[in-house]
Amino acid sequence: MSDEIAAIIGEMQLVGRLLHSRGIFAGRAGNLSARLADGRLLITRSGTHKALLDREALLLLDAQGAPLEAGKPSSEAPLHLAAYAARPEVGAVIHAHAPACTTLAMLHQSLDTAATEEGRIGLGRVPLLPPAEAGDPEAAARWGMEVANGAKAALLDAHGVIVWGRDLRDAFARLETCESLADLQWRMAVLRSTLER
Ligand SMILES: [Zn+2]
């Protein structure tokens, strides 16, 4: 295993455990990927537990997304590939069923990023992408277009959230910001409805 691949696996293990400990990854849901310097990609295999990642849990893809090893990539691989194709600075992508983000997405609500400075400056507009089956190429193309137009994250209607970052830590921070904003939005909506009663 190359030093670069070993380093990325170490970062994926760290981020996978941190997101699991925050309740952002649960069970086998979600997926992570990262781009190597030569353009190849490392992505979690279908059905892996993100707190228990090792080399076997990951699949190496070429720059176009074709597997270079036996096995099945995450069903959401097209969403990851679309982000990498959209911008050269995309170094990592994370998709999760983060509870607060997913609650908003289940209710077809957008994430209000204007509420805090981290939201306004760190994220900007977070689009709500229409509902789609896992691996749907149209949904991937839509997300790719949003990334090309400057989106750093999106809610997936009735499904979850996806973010990209310059590297895994950057994507992790963005995902955590999305989840904390969604949590804040949820609390504000509950309290507002209580106060207005
Ligand atoms: Zn999902």
Across all residues in the chain, what is the average pLDDT?
94
- Which 3 state secondary structure label does DSSP give 126? coil
Strands 160-165 and 92-96, bridge-based pairing? antiparallel
Reported pTM: 0.96
| Six-digit token string for 128 | 């709500």
Per residue in 42-96, pLDDT (tens digit) is 999 988 999 999 999 999 999 999 999 998 888 899 999 999 999 999 999 999 9
| Residues whose beta carbons lie less than 5 angstroms from ion ligand 1 | 160
Question: What is residue 28's predicted lDDT score, i.e. its pLDDT?
Answer: 87
Per residue in 100-138, pLDDT (tens digit) is 999 999 999 999 999 889 899 989 999 999 988 888 999
Between CA 113 and CA 150 the distance in angstroms is 14
Per residue in 3-35, pLDDT (tens digit) is 999 999 999 999 999 999 999 998 889 999 999
Ligand 1 center to 176 CA (angstroms)? 16
Between CA 24 and CA 79 the distance in angstroms is 19
Ligand 1 center to 104 CA (angstroms)? 14
Question: What is residue 72's predicted lDDT score, i.e. its pLDDT?
Answer: 84
Domains and CATH numbers, the chain: 3-195 (3.40.225.10)
Between CA 186 and CA 181 the distance in angstroms is 9
Per residue in 74-87, pLDDT (tens digit) is 889 999 999 999 99
Ligand 1 center to 195 CA (angstroms)? 35
Question: What is residue 149's predicted lDDT score, i.e. its pLDDT?
Answer: 97
